[in-house]
A = this chain, B = another copy of it.
Amino acid sequence: MTLTSTQATPLDHDEVEAIRADFPILHRTVGDGAQLVYLDSGATSQRPRQVLQAEYDFATTSYSAVHRGAHTLASEATDAFEAARETVARFVGVPTDGVVWTRNATEGLNVLAAALTDPEAGQYTLKPGDEVLVTEMEHHANLVPWQRAAARSGATLRWIPLTDAGRLDLATVDGLINERTKVVAFAHASNVLGTINPVAELVAKAKAVGALTILDACQSVPHLPVDLGALGVDAAVFSGHKMLGPTGIGVLAARPGLLDALPPVLTGGSMVERVTMETATFREAPQRFEAGPPPVAQAVALRAAVDYLDRVGMDRIAAREHQLAQLLLDGVDSVAGVRVIGPNDAENRTATVAFEVEGVHPHDVGQVLDAAGVAVRVGHHCAQPVHRRFGVNASSRASAYLYTTDADVERFVQALGSVRGFFGRS
């Protein structure tokens, strides 16, 4: 997915304002009455009225347990729930039965890592001598489960290092992807650096050695048009709460053939065929991976979120975010004593910009910005290794979305300009 400003017409000022009108929370003030500037969508996005309404309507008209009833509510709820699966599958270009509902993207990655260390995964089971490859920019969710999978299976965890510019060091890849490589798991876009990784290139190299490719699409699916089928990955994860949907739902999207070959990880109701006191047999995928009641209301809401994104147009959102990335980079660059952590140019980059303010701890940066109404994230953003790589423990991070205005960026940059002075740095 190469992202350049020429792909589609960015959302214009009026369109962004119209979108903002759908998000009640963006109109609140914080602290001493400052209008909220929400630049923390990389952590979680806000929900528009349409999504909240869909959830409310469902709860007040058709809610019921799904799949298990002969009554009217049960079939209406099942229809709504399965329609959500269809919508989400189409949105990311996988077959409907390639969509497994999880509780978040983290769970999806854990399920894959656990299934691949289970002897019942057959040809896919990781063995001593095998290698799992990740990158140095991974979120803990796409790192710690692989550390444990490696420890349990005797496989070796390796990683693609980063350049000082905050890109994957592609020169190292040919050595790292080799005949021992069984899994290549990597972020489509980094939640710290904003870097968009070259998926096609990595997938081609992985396929050449027969390795599975697993894409952490948490920071791409909400922001870019993503066609997982076209990208050719074996599996991908993303989560509802970062794409205008609710908390409590994530997606594990995979080749149905892969899912069918993997054993279940969580067991219980809805995923079994026959159960005796002694033993149980399991249903086909995706049901095999959905133990217990699924996030029914959340799926219905996520469908409304996808419909919303579709209506606006992912290509136009991506084009707008490309503008925002440039605005954020220029803005941060204009403030003395502030260093961007990640690529300095907006090409192949999302509108997520992490930075360090010289002599001021990120917590203090965040506090001063908050007093000005500007919400940014501070800390290690669940990615300690990438911070260590760039010589810091923590950073501040501004991340934009379709509802971010140019004025938001200006307010942020202005507040950022006051930080060092406030703490007496010059």
Contact = CB atoms under 8 A, between A and B. Distances in A.
Contacts of A31: 72
Interface in A84-122: 103-107, 109-110
Given A63-B25, A277-B136, A141 B248 contact: no
Contacts of A103: 103, 107, 248, 292, 295
A92 B72 CA distance: 34
Size bracket, chain A contacts: 35 or more
A30 to B, nearest CB: 4
Interface string A63-98: 111001111111000000000000000000000000
Interface string A30-56: 110000101010011011000010011
Nearest to A370: B71
A377 interface: yes
A197 B388 CA distance: 54
A52 B59 contact: yes
A157 interface: yes
19 contacts: A30-B73, A40-B69, A65-B377, A70-B366, A70-B367, A71-B366, A71-B369, A71-B370, A104-B292, A105-B292, A110-B267, A141-B269, A143-B277, A144-B272, A145-B266, A247-B248, A247-B294, A270-B382, A275-B385
Contacts of A298: 246-248
A71 B375 contact: yes
Contacts of A296: 247
Contacts of A292: 103-107, 141, 239, 250
B109 A378 contact: no
Contacts of A36: 73
A63 B40 contact: no
A369 B40 CA distance: 50
A157 B266 contact: no
A56 B65 contact: no
A139 B277 CA distance: 11
A104 B140 contact: no
Given A30-B73, A143-B277, A64 B44 contact: yes
A133 to B, nearest CB: 12
Contacts of A139: 268-269
Interface in A278-304: 278-280, 291-298
A257 interface: no
A24 interface: yes
A13 interface: no
Interface string A143-177: 11101100000000101000000000000000000
B59 A275 contact: no
B59 A47 contact: yes
The 10 A-B residue pairs with the shortest CB-CB distance, nearest first, are A106-B292, A248-B248, A70-B366, A269-B382, A141-B268, A106-B268, A71-B375, A103-B103, A43-B65, A24-B60
A379 interface: yes
A61 interface: yes
B384 A144 contact: no
